[in-house]
């Protein structure tokens, strides 16, 4: 063996991107021979005599080190991670082993020995070796001894000096004397930025201390939906084996720290999702929530716990997937509505899914195989128990299909179909809005179904739908198609006011059909106050008024811009971004923006991108997309773009959030890696964001906004004594929630102290604190408390019916009242009053008044023959009310209990009175008096003509009630259909004579004259009621006909009916026909005319009647005057206020009757008179109608 001792010095610089591979160990102790550090001597062999004895000179990595593979062993990341010793590269370099000992201490210096294996040694000449050792000795102020074994050819080196210098010298010796080696291993992609650090601050110390060159693979693909740490990158280290091993350890230490927490997702497939109950785990080390609508379950927390829980859930999901089967059945769409999916899920744990849209018949049943079969059988039985019919409403209104689609959309949107279904007991199905928007559809089928046992429901629903359809013709519907579907969501709010005032329904079909059309449907509804149908002009005005309210959207369309970009299909992934986050971020930049990938707006187009929005928004988004695509083409590390931003240390905890929730949210929102500087020393901390470039920039902007928001947040503290806390919080936190919403703050109170904290934006926190302080001051001012004791018997009266009394006291006194429940079984109860002193006094006064009243309350029972109950009660309770009112002041008393009369048919004969003693005594005395009067009553009868009974009854029985109340009697009058004329009176004898006199007075004749008019002349004299009205107005004389009133009215309205010959032909303009009477009229049949009024007026009217009888008795002919254009001609004959007709009558001396529009024969004028008078009338009528 030869021994070399070298002293030399040289400068060595390590670049930041250099990489080393370092062996992890050194030999146990220095060799036995001492060698001067300035000479190289070859002495005797060392104590080791067998070159194969590696115990004396151990080789790093063991005997098989030179043959070890360069591939890194698998690594387990997280808290359970163990450093894995990598084998040296294939060049066989081995410089230390796991059996090496620590450096030996010599005084203040240390001594470390290590071996460079011959296979791992860099080939250097002796001169080069001496120069290197001399350079390092001088550079690090250390002693270096080198010995080369002549047997193994391994070089042993001993370095002595200060510990730090020895370490540095050893590192450089190994670097310069060992062959370079390469070492590769995997790290989670998400930890790359943490390993590098801001500006390389984490990686640079690793390189400097190990001398290794470190190359970390860049992430060139978007992140997948896998776990945060499942994607890996390769790290390659180059240098001496010990340096590489040390660098690897330092890198894995960072990985270990970064991966101790894990966020992961687990997706439950569609077929098992319905069988998984909601998961909610929230502990300090693990949070699990889900599944959401997409079946995603989120797990976060300590890595080991997340992995364990995920494995547990995955195993359970695999079990479900293995045991759950799906079977598809073809079921006609008409019968889909009869299958109750919820019922089947509850009964069989089987999920039923129907095909989407309006097509397809396949229904899937998912569950355990045995249950699926049962569910299908059950569904089949369900559908058999229903009957269905189809009503195609497109056949209505002249087969107007477009109008039918509009009505169906209106009925569906306005829930009219639902209302019809509920009313009729049927189920009504309508085509989807997308189908109704399809102009190519030529039918509008409405499905009506009901249980087979209720087939009548279908008929009722069908009838109602037909009526509804027929009631809305096309003239009541307006299509508005000039508003882009882009504004569909604003249609309802824009038209709300106009639609309500014009009674028009608005159906936003453009929104309901997901923008497949631009149509908005306006339907003019019937108005309740309309007595007559509106004109079409009125309907159009209402519809146009609502359409005009959309002008604001029409104006907005001027700023609407649509762009279709040409983007290759494979490049659109860069617009969508990782997990769709970039597209979401682009859309979030404006509330009014549409972006459709692989679309030209109206149809799918692989290489197109459709953008629609305001001009400024579209221009900005178009520019953003162009930059995204440019970056994708130019930037190699597109998905590993990194930037840094500074945030105040004071907001760091808020930015991170509880258990990292805020950072996790940012990472998920933008799919970027966000790392916060640990233990920052300044006022600001560095936040490193790594990921897709666009998303990184957006995340940086949002972090800035959050930092600004958090920096403005303050916490205010308010001391609130616990006794006032409930009042401040309000029922179910009402007051606090209102303040939190109003000022965007968070209000918390501690159970252990009087502190209430208000946290939020400075302005909102201050305002909320002010309001709470004002409320607290009010509570303190009104927080006085007083307890009063009330007898148990009075509690119900204090509370009142449904709390009516106690609520009134609360309002009157402005306080709170609490009736304690603890002493319900005792003789008294405690009532707690809380409020102002004045309010307490007022409330106590009212409560004690009720108590006093209760204590003064008595109950008296009086036995009465039930036949007198009716007399005590009176008509509609009038006598009862009069008894109570006359007893005294009954305000605020329990009115019902003051006088309780058994119901009709009751077995009881007791009348009960409960209330203040004074009132009760008075009421009982009145009841006794009524009973005594009835017992002493007698019955008498008085005969009054039947036609005069109405005078005794009066309007709505008012006269009879007045007689009974004034005289204390009962008056019994025969019913209308009873021919008896006897009126029976029951009462005290002294009252009966008074009542009889009053009845005679009421029924005495009051007319001044009576004229018997022959019945056949009655109509002519009455002039169809005109004579009666005229004398009433002109002479204030009333005419009555007694029992003949009904017959008189019929005779007044009766006119001779014209024969068919009385009407002219199509060629004639008018025709006058005269018919002579064939029979002599009966003068003995008369109608009485009774005249009431002043003496002179009655005499004057009497003479007019007699003159009319004399004049009309001569009339022996009837004439019919037919005119072709009767309506306009008759109006000309009548003249203003009947003036021309009156003139014709007077000049001709004939009776002339112009028909009303409502008369059956309204096209013929009827005349009565002699041949001469009728001839005159004919000439006058013809002259009148021929006037121009």
Q: Does domain 720-782 match CATH 3.30.1370.10?
A: yes
Q: Could you tell me the pLDDT band of residue 221, with boundaries at 50, 70 and 90?
A: low
Q: Are 520 and 508 in contact (CB under 8 A)?
A: yes
CATH topology of domain 110-177: Ribosomal Protein S8; Chain: A, domain 1 (3.30.1370)
Q: What three-state secondary structure class fits 432?
A: coil
Q: If you average pLDDT over residues 391-417, what whole number do you get? A: 92
Q: If you average pLDDT over residues 171-189, what whole number do you get? A: 87
- pLDDT score recorded for residue 358: 63
Whole-angstrom distance, CA of residue 871 vs CA of residue 878: 10
pLDDT in tens, 626-655: 888 888 777 666 777 888 999 998 888 888
Per-residue pLDDT at 523 exceeds 90: yes
Q: Are 735 and 729 in contact (CB under 8 A)?
A: yes
Q: If you average pLDDT over residues 43-50, what whole number do you get? A: 34
The CATH code of domain 860-927 reads 3.30.1370.10
Per-residue pLDDT at 227 exceeds 90: no
Per-residue pLDDT at 19 exceeds 50: no
Annotate 80-105 with b (16+ C-beta within 10 A) or e (fewer): ebeeebbbbbebbbbbbbeebeebee
The CATH code of domain 938-1002 reads 3.30.1370.10
Q: Does domain 784-857 match CATH 3.50.50.60?
A: no
Per-residue pLDDT at 1103 exceeds 90: yes
993-998 own/partner pairs: CB under 8 Å, 24+ apart: 994/967, 995/963, 995/967, 995/969, 995/971, 996/940, 996/942, 998/963, 998/967
Name the CATH superfamily housing domain 640-712: K Homology domain, type 1 (3.30.1370.10)
- pLDDT score recorded for residue 39: 32
Per-residue pLDDT at 59 exceeds 80: no
pLDDT in tens, 768-785: 999 899 888 887 777 788
Per-residue pLDDT at 730 exceeds 50: yes
Q: Could you tell me the pLDDT band of residue 42, with boundaries at 50, 70 and 90?
A: very low
Per-residue pLDDT at 48 exceeds 80: no
pLDDT in tens, 347-385: 888 888 888 766 677 888 988 888 888 888 888 888 777
CA 132 vs. chain centroid, Å, equals 80
Q: Does domain 1053-1187 match CATH 3.30.1370.10?
A: yes
- pLDDT score recorded for residue 641: 84
| Helix (H), strand (E) at residue 943 | strand 938-943
Q: Could you tell me the pLDDT band of residue 529, with boundaries at 50, 70 and 90?
A: low
- pLDDT score recorded for residue 1166: 92
- pLDDT score recorded for residue 1188: 62
Share of residues in the chain with pLDDT > 70 (%): 88
Per-residue pLDDT at 1131 exceeds 50: yes
Q: If you average pLDDT over residues 104-125, what whole number do you get? A: 80
Per-residue pLDDT at 15 exceeds 60: no
805 or 41, which is more confident: 805
Share of residues in the chain with pLDDT > 90 (%): 17
- pLDDT score recorded for residue 1005: 77
- pLDDT score recorded for residue 890: 56
Q: Could you tell me the pLDDT band of residue 106, with boundaries at 50, 70 and 90?
A: low
Q: Could you tell me the pLDDT band of residue 100, with boundaries at 50, 70 and 90?
A: very low
pLDDT in tens, 912-968: 998 888 889 999 999 998 888 888 888 899 988 887 888 888 877 888 888 888 888
- pLDDT score recorded for residue 345: 87
744 or 14, which is more confident: 744
Whole-angstrom distance, CA of residue 227 vs CA of residue 263: 7
- pLDDT score recorded for residue 86: 38
Per-residue pLDDT at 1080 exceeds 80: yes
Per-residue pLDDT at 591 exceeds 80: no
Which among 90, 147, 141 is positioned nearest to 116, based on CA atoms?
147
Say how many residues make up the chain. 1188
HEC-encoded secondary structure of 351-388:
EEECCCCCCCCEEEEEEEHHHHHHHHHHHHHHHHCEEE
Average pLDDT along the chain: 81
pLDDT in tens, 1004-1057: 777 889 899 998 899 888 887 888 888 888 998 999 888 788 888 888 878 888
Q: Could you tell me the pLDDT band of residue 177, with boundaries at 50, 70 and 90?
A: confident
- pLDDT score recorded for residue 532: 65
| Widest pairwise Cα distance in the chain | 179
578 or 34, which is more confident: 578
Q: Where are the domains of the chain?
A: 110-177, 181-218+229-259, 567-635, 640-712, 720-782, 784-857, 860-927, 938-1002, 1053-1187
Q: If you average pLDDT over residues 1065-1073, what whole number do you get? A: 87
Per-residue pLDDT at 41 exceeds 50: no
Q: If you average pLDDT over residues 1165-1188, what whole number do you get? A: 89
374-383 own/partner pairs: CB under 8 Å, 24+ apart: 374/348, 374/350, 375/344, 375/347, 375/348, 375/350, 376/327, 376/329, 378/344, 378/347, 378/348, 379/329, 379/331, 379/339, 379/344, 379/352, 382/338, 382/339, 382/340, 382/343, 383/331, 383/335, 383/338, 383/339
The CATH code of domain 181-218+229-259 reads 3.30.1370.10
pLDDT in tens, 318-340: 888 888 888 888 887 777 777 88
Same fold, 567-635 and 640-712: yes
Per-residue pLDDT at 465 exceeds 60: yes
Whole-angstrom distance, CA of residue 223 vs CA of residue 231: 8
Q: If you average pLDDT over residues 1167-1172, what whole number do you get? A: 92
- pLDDT score recorded for residue 444: 92
Q: What three-state secondary structure class fits 1147?
A: helix
Per-residue pLDDT at 299 exceeds 90: no
Assign domain 567-635 to a CATH class: alpha beta
Q: If you average pLDDT over residues 168-186, what whole number do you get? A: 87
- pLDDT score recorded for residue 25: 32
Q: Are 79 and 260 in contact (CB under 8 A)?
A: yes
pLDDT in tens, 809-868: 988 888 888 888 876 778 888 999 988 888 899 999 999 988 888 888 888 999 988 888
């Amino acid at each position: 063996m030869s021994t070399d001792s070298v002293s030399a010095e040289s400068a060595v610089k390590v670049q930041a991107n250099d990489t080393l591979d370092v062996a992890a160990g050194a030999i146990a102790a220095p060799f036995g021979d001492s060698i001067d550090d300035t000479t190289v001597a070859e002495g005797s062999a060392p104590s080791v005599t067998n070159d194969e004895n590696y115990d004396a000179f151990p080789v790093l990595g063991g005997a098989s080190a030179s043959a070890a593979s360069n591939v890194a062993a698998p690594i387990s990341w997280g808290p359970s991670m163990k450093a894995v010793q990598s084998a040296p590269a294939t060049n066989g370099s081995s410089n230390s082993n796991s059996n090496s000992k620590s450096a030996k201490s010599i005084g203040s210096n240390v001594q470390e020995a290590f071996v460079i294996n011959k296979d791992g040694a860099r080939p250097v000449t002796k001169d080069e070796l001496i120069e290197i050792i001399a350079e390092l000795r001088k550079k690090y102020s250390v002693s270096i001894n080198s010995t080369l074994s002549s047997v193994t050819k391994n070089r042993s080196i001993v370095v002595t000096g200060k510990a730090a210098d020895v370490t540095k010298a050893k590192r450089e010796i190994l670097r310069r004397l060992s062959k370079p080696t390469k070492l590769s291993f995997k790290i989670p992609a998400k930890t790359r930025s943490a390993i590098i650090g801001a500006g390389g601050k984490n990686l640079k110390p690793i390189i400097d201390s190990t001398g290794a060159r470190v190359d970390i693979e860049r992430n060139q693909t978007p992140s997948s939906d896998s776990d945060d740490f499942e994607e890996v990158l390769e790290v390659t280290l180059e240098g001496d084996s010990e340096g590489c091993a040390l660098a690897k350890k330092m890198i894995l230490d960072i990985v270990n720290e970064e991966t101790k927490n894990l966020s992961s997702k687990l997706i439950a497939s569609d077929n098992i999702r319905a069988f998984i109950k909601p998961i909610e785990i929230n502990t300090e080390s693990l949070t699990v929530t889900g599944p959401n609508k997409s079946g995603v379950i989120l797990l976060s927390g300590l890595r080991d716990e997340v992995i364990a829980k995920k494995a547990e859930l995955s195993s359970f999901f695999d079990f479900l997937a293995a045991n759950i089967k799906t079977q598809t059945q073809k079921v006609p769409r008409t019968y889909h509505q009869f299958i109750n999916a919820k019922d089947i899920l509850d009964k069989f744990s089987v999920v039923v899914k129907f095909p989407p849209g309006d097509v397809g018949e396949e229904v899937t049943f998912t569950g355990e195989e045995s249950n699926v079969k049962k569910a299908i059988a059950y569904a089949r039985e369900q559908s058999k128990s229903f009957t269905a019919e189809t009503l195609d409403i497109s056949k209505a209104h002249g087969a107007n299909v477009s109008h039918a689609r509009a009505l169906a959309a209106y009925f569906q949107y306005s829930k009219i179909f639902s209302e019809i279904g509920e009313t009729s007991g049927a189920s009504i199905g309508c085509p989807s809005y997308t189908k109704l928007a399809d102009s190519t559809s030529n039918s509008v089928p409405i499905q009506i179904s009901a249980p087979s046992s209720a087939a009548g429901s279908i008929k009722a629903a069908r009838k109602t739908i037909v009526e509804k359809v027929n009631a809305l013709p096309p003239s009541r519907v307006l299509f508005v198609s000039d508003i882009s579907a882009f504004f569909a969501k604003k249609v309802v709010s824009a038209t709300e006011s106009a639609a309500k005032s014009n009674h028009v329904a608005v159906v936003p079909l453009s929104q309901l059909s997901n923008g497949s059309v631009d149509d908005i449907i306006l339907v003019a509804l019937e108005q309740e106050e309309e007595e007559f149908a509106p004109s079409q002009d009125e309907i159009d005005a209402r519809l146009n008024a609502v359409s005009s309210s959309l002008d604001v959207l029409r104006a907005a369309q001027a700023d609407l811009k649509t762009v279709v970009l040409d983007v290759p299909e494979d490049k659109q992934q860069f617009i969508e971004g990782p997990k769709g986050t970039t597209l979401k971020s682009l859309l979030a930049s404006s509330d009014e923006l549409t972006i459709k990938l692989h679309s030209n707006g109206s149809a799918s187009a692989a290489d197109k991108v459709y953008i629609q929005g305001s001009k400024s928004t579209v221009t900005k988004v178009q520019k953003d997309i162009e930059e995204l695509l440019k970056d994708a083409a130019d930037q190699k590390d597109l998905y590993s773009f990194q930037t840094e931003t500074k945030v105040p240390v004071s907001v760091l905890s808020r930015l991170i959030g509880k258990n990292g929730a805020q950072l996790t949210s940012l990472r998920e929102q933008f799919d970027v890696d966000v790392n916060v500087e640990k233990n920052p020393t300044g006022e600001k901390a560095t936040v490193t964001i790594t990921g897709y470039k666009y998303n990184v920039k957006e995340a940086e902007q949002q972090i800035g906004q959050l930092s600004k928001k958090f920096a403005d947040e303050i916490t205010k503290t308010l001391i609130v004594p616990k006794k006032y806390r409930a009042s401040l919080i309000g029922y179910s936190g009402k007051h606090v929630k209102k303040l939190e919403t109003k000022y965007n703050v968070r209000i918390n109170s501690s159970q252990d102290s009087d502190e209430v904290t208000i946290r939020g934006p400075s302005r909102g926190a201050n305002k909320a604190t002010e309001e709470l302080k004002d409320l607290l001051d009010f509570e303190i001012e009104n927080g006085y408390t007083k307890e009063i004791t009330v007898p148990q018997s009075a509690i119900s009266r204090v509370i009142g019916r449904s709390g009516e009394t106690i609520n009134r006291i609360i309002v009157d006194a402005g306080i709170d009242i609490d009736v304690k429940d603890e002493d319900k079984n005792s003789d008294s109860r405690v009532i707690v009053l809380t409020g102002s002193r004045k309010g307490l006094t007022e409330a106590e006064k009212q409560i004690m008044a009720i108590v006093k009243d209760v204590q003064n309350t008595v109950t008296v029972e009086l036995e009465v023959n039930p036949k007198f109950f009716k007399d005590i009660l009176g008509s509609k309770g009038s006598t009862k009310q009069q008894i109570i009112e006359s007893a005294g002041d009954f305000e605020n008393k329990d009115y019902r209990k003051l006088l309780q009369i058994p119901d009709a048919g009751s077995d009881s004969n007791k009348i009960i009175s409960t209330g203040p003693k004074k009132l009760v005594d008075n009421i009982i005395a009145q009841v006794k008096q009524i009973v005594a009067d009835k017992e002493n009553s007698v019955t008498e009868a008085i005969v009054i003509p039947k036609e005069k009974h109405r005078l005794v009854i009066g309007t709505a029985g008012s006269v009879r009630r007045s007689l009974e109340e004034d005289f204390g009697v009962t008056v019994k009058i025969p019913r209308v259909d009873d021919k008896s004329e006897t009126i029976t009176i029951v009462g005290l004898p002294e009252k009966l004579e008074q009542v009889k006199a009053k009845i005679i007075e009421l029924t005495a004749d009051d007319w001044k004259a009576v004229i018997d008019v022959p019945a056949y002349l009655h109509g002519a004299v009455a002039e169809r009621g005109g004579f009666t009205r005229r004398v009433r107005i002109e002479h204030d004389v009333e005419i009555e006909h007694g029992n003949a009133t009904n017959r008189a009215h019929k005779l007044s309205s009766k006119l001779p009916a014209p024969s068919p010959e009385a009407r002219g032909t199509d060629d004639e303009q008018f025709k006058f026909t005269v018919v002579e009477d064939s029979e002599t009229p009966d003068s003995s049949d008369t109608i009485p005319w009774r005249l009431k009024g002043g003496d002179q007026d009655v005499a004057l009217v009497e003479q007019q009647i007699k003159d009319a009888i004399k004049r009309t008795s001569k009339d022996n002919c009837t004439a019919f005057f037919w005119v072709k254009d009767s309506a306009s001609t008759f109006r000309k004959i009548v003249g203003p206020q009947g003036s021309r007709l009156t003139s014709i009558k007077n000049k001709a001396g004939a009776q002339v009757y112009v028909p009303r529009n409502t008369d059956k024969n309204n096209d013929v004028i009827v005349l009565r008179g002699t041949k001469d008078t009728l001839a005159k009338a004919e000439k006058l009528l013809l002259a009148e109608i021929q006037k121009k």
